[in-house]
């Protein structure tokens, strides 16, 4: 446990010395503050639009941060050979891998908490409203970031950062369209059997990341659909299960890799 936390702490320290971390964070926070410049609408709608835009920006930041950090840590350490110094200690590879992922998730959580505080302050200053409910959307953004980070890190055991980012981007797109596109491709009898089979396989194997997107619901004040504790628990379970599967595969592959 101590080794796990030490490795995770090392990732957080490392992230704080990366320009990409500050660039993404600063870019997002500045854009959130610029949301009032969007085309005006009625006051009530304006608040909803501002919340939706801010959450959308936070999502983009979180996904980029999770994917870029997770994609670059292991290849960077293997390329620079700093991994030898760490793995020559009594630290198992599984612990090392898990510690790196936990570190990425801790950085992501810290960035999202900062986003939350900025969004709260911004909404309070601009609209005189207190919107603690945005935390729910930021939490599911974190869950989706965790799934993406676990995929990106799994890919990074064998591929370089650029390929990992591209693969995870593809994963993100497919997992967001699976409920619609993949489902239709699977059930459409006019499609060739192989295509229907592939679509069906992907439909049942891949997570439906669109399910984790509650930005719109939260932005509109949960007037139509309320996101309760049971729903959040279900979404957490979904994300944890998929992240655990990808992390488990990643640890297995990493443990067998020649460094």
Confirm if 74 and 153 have CB atoms less than 8 A apart. Answer: yes
Chain centroid to CA 258? 29
Rounded (10°) angle between helices 43-80 and 134-156: 20
Q: Which positions lie near other proteins, rule CB under 8 A?
A: 2-3, 6-7, 10, 14, 17, 80-82, 84-92, 256, 258-259
Cα dist. 50→28, 37, 59, 123 in Å?
14, 10, 14, 8
Q: Distance between CA 137 and CA 174 in Å, rounded?
A: 21
Shortest reach from residue 43's CB to other proteins, in Å? 47
Shortest reach from residue 71's CB to other proteins, in Å? 18
Confirm if 141 and 128 have CB atoms less than 8 A apart. Answer: no
Would you say 26 or 259 has its CB closer to other proteins? Answer: 259
Would you say 92 or 248 has its CB closer to other proteins? Answer: 92
Would you say 94 or 196 has its CB closer to other proteins? Answer: 94
Shortest reach from residue 88's CB to other proteins, in Å? 4
Shortest reach from residue 145's CB to other proteins, in Å? 24
Would you say 83 or 240 has its CB closer to other proteins? Answer: 83
Shortest reach from residue 3's CB to other proteins, in Å? 6
Would you say 80 or 128 has its CB closer to other proteins? Answer: 80
Confirm if 62 and 112 have CB atoms less than 8 A apart. Answer: yes
Q: Distance between CA 115 and CA 205 in Å, rounded?
A: 32
Scored b (16 or more CB within 10 A) or e, 152-163 reads bbbbbbebebee
């Amino acid at each position: 446990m101590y080794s796990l936390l030490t490795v995770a702490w090392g990732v957080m320290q490392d992230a704080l010395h990366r320009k990409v971390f500050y660039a993404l964070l600063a870019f997002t926070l500045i854009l959130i503050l610029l949301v009032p410049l969007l085309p005006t609408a009625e006051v009530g709608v304006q608040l909803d639009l501002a919340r939706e835009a801010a959450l959308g920006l936070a999502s983009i930041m979180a996904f980029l941060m999770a994917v870029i950090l997770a994609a670059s840590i292991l290849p960077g350490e293997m390329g620079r050979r700093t991994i030898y110094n760490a793995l020559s200690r009594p630290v198992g590879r599984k612990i090392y891998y898990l510690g790196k992922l936990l570190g990425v998730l801790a950085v992501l959580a810290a960035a999202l908490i900062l986003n939350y505080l900025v969004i709260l302050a911004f909404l309070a200053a601009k609209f005189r409203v207190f919107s603690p409910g945005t935390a729910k959307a930021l939490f599911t953004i974190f869950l989706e970031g965790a799934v993406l980070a676990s995929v990106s890190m799994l890919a990074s055991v064998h591929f370089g950062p650029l390929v990992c980012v591209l693969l995870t981007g593809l994963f993100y797109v497919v997992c967001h369209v699976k409920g619609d596109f993949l489902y239709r491709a699977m059930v459409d009898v006019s499609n060739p059997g192989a295509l229907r089979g592939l679509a069906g396989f992907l439909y049942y194997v891949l997570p439906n990341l669109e399910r984790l997107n509650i930005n719109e619901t939260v932005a509109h004040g949960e007037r139509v659909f309320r996101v309760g504790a049971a729903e959040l628990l279900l979404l957490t379970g979904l994300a944890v299960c998929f992240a655990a599967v990808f992390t488990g595969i990643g640890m297995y592959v990493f443990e067998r890799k020649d460094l």
